[in-house]
Structure 1
Amino acid sequence: MVFDARAIEIPLNSHVRYVDTGTIGEVVDARTTNGIDWVKLDKTGLWYESNRVELLEEKDIKKGSWGNKDLDIENLKENTMNFEELELSSDSCNGGG
């Protein structure tokens, strides 16, 4: 058994929010290691200390969508990498003045 920041038990397949960043995900695994409780979230695949997450009620869960399209995290990462490779030049535009 693992508990959230409010000492509420976190069942598998429930939704939680990481309080530091607002990341929301479904709990796909839970474990205790060296006296610390952890939960693994489906969206990030990362482990979070259970006392740093809050169990969400169904009404608090926002579906991962942007307009009518589902968010594709891998696609967003790829687009971010493409943006990082963008080269800016000081002679690309002139200031008005």
Structure 2
Amino acid sequence: MAFDARDKEIALDSHVRYVDTGTIGKVLDVKTTDGVDWVKIDKTNLWYRSSLVELLDEKDLKKQFDDDGNDELDVEALKEKAEKLENMQMDSSVAEGGG
């Protein structure tokens, strides 16, 4: 039994987000080695410490539909959106205060 960063139990086939990079994926496997819990995520096929991932609720998952109408989580689109937000520059000349 593995728990996420918020002490929620992680089950197989649940979706999680790795907090350091924002990587989102479905949990393929769970294991404990030397007292440390690990989860394997399908998107990267890598193992992550369970205490460094967050369990995602249905409301957290944004579903995208492809041309065939198949329901699929578009992880790459979510990464691109997050990247754009991170790269946004603030500009003080956009608005001026009145008065």
TM category, shorter: 0.5 to 0.7
Q: Amino acid of the residue matched to residue 15 of structure 2? A: H
Alpha-carbon separation, structure 2, partners of 1:68 and 1:13: 21
What is residue 32 of structure 1 aligned with on the other side? 32
Structure 2, unaligned stretches of length 5 or more?
A: 77-99
What is residue 6 of structure 1 aligned with on the other side? 6
- The 5-angstrom pairing of residues 18-97 of structure 1 reads 18-63=18-63
Larger Rg computed on CA atoms: 1
The count of corresponding residues between Structure 1 and Structure 2 is 70
Deviation at 1:62, TM superposition (A): 2.8
Structure 1, unaligned stretches of length 5 or more?
A: 74-97
Deviation above 3 Å: which 4+ runs of structure 1? 67-71
Residue identity over aligned pairs, in percent, reads 64
Structure number having the greater strand percentage: 2
Q: What are the superposed Cα offsets for residues 12-36 of structure 1, whole Å, 9 maximum, x if unpaired?
A: 0000000000000000100000110
Q: What is the aligned-residue RMSD (CA, Å)?
A: 2.0
Q: Amino acid of the residue matched to residue 5 of structure 1? A: A
Q: Amino acid of the residue matched to residue 27 of structure 1? A: V
